Structure 1
Amino acid sequence: MKRIIFTVLMLIVALNLFAETTISRMAIATDIVDREPVGVSETFSANIGKLYCFTEVQTDKFPTKVVHIWLYDNNIIAEVPLEVNSNKWRTYSSKRILPNWEGDWKVEIYAEDGKLIGSKSFTVK
């Protein structure tokens, strides 16, 4: 009986060691409608007002979290933690874009363990 319990515990530990969180879809968009990105592009007008980072996450371990880090000109502008509550989960964050924030932007996505799992660059002009 002890051997069975030990084997089960070792299997649980092994599954958690190899649990992986990945991004299956990612987009920068002007809106989210019915949990889908709308107005997807890599270039946006400086008067856009607000942008969204849509993310579809796949994971072996849930619940978990991911973090969207919005960068402008290589400076962190916002960090947005997001819950992931099933093995395939759609989520998004948004960021107000001021008209004078023209230039290169990027959103990086990190798993709960701190691993970079996705990024998307875009331009505001």
Structure 2
Amino acid sequence: MRHCLTIAITAWLLLFTGNAFAQDTFDDSVARAQLTSAVENHEPVDKLEHVVVTEPVAQVAFFTEIVGRPDSKIQHLWFYQNKLMAEVNLTIGSGRWRTYSSKKIRHDWTGNWRVLVVDNQQNILAEHPFEVVAGSQQ
């Protein structure tokens, strides 16, 4: 099942990655989803748009607020150059739930990244593409 999900998402990404900075998309159950440098007190501390700079390692987090899906599960799928790098399982505990996952990105992992939020039926709830550049390239 996991292998099929990876293949399906990779195929979908290959079809729709013509514009590396496509607009974020959200399902109705996603009240907020954003890339941030950290989460404190259950809130993102800033909003990273579409470029992340590594010096030498970038720590980024993907914050998601889910509404109307109590007692369910979601996953954050972190892709680098269309390769699945991390799969993070997250439990939604109530009708309004804030959660996040984080990723350390090495300086040599420059290029296109994407975070997908999927439910337990593999429906894509949100996506956020971003680019990682080396510290001296900003």
Q: Specify if TM > 0.5.
A: yes
Distance in structure 2 (CA, Å) of the matches to 1:58 and 1:91? 11
Judge conservation of contact 1:21–1:111 (CA < 8 Å) in 2: no
C-alpha deviation, 1:80, in angstroms: 0.2
- The aligned residue for residue 32 of structure 2 is 25
Unmatched segments (≥5 aa) in structure 2:
1-26, 134-138
Q: What is the identity, as a one-letter code, of the residue corresponding to 1:101?
A: W
- The aligned residue for residue 62 of structure 2 is 53
C-alpha deviation, 1:66, in angstroms: 0.4
Q: What is the identity, as a one-letter code, of the residue corresponding to 1:24?
A: A
Give the stretch that moved more between structures: 64-73 or 112-121: 112-121
Q: What is the identity, as a one-letter code, of the residue corresponding to 2:39?
A: I
Q: What is the identity, as a one-letter code, of the residue corresponding to 2:113?
A: W
C-alpha deviation, 1:76, in angstroms: 0.3
C-alpha deviation, 1:39, in angstroms: 2.8
The count of residues paired between Structure 1 and Structure 2 equals: 105
Distance in structure 2 (CA, Å) of the matches to 1:38 and 1:51? 11
C-alpha deviations, 1:67-122, integer Å up to 9, x for none?
00000011100000001010110000001110101111100000122211110111
C-alpha deviation, 1:21, in angstroms: 7.2
- The aligned residue for residue 114 of structure 1 is 122
Q: Percent of aligned pairs with the same residue?
A: 30
Q: Which structure has the bigger radius of gyration?
A: 1
Distance in structure 2 (CA, Å) of the matches to 1:40 and 1:88? 21
Structure 1's 121 and 40: CA in aligned 2 closer, same or farther, altered over 3 A? same
- The aligned residue for residue 82 of structure 1 is 90
C-alpha deviation, 1:34, in angstroms: 1.2
Query: Are positions 1:39 and 2:46 aligned together?
Result: yes
Structure 1's 21 and 62: CA in aligned 2 closer, same or farther, altered over 3 A? farther
> Normalising by structure 1, what TM-score?
0.78
Give the stretch that moved more between structures: 73-82 or 38-47: 38-47
RMSD of aligned residue pairs (Cα, Å): 1.5
> Normalising by structure 2, what TM-score?
0.71
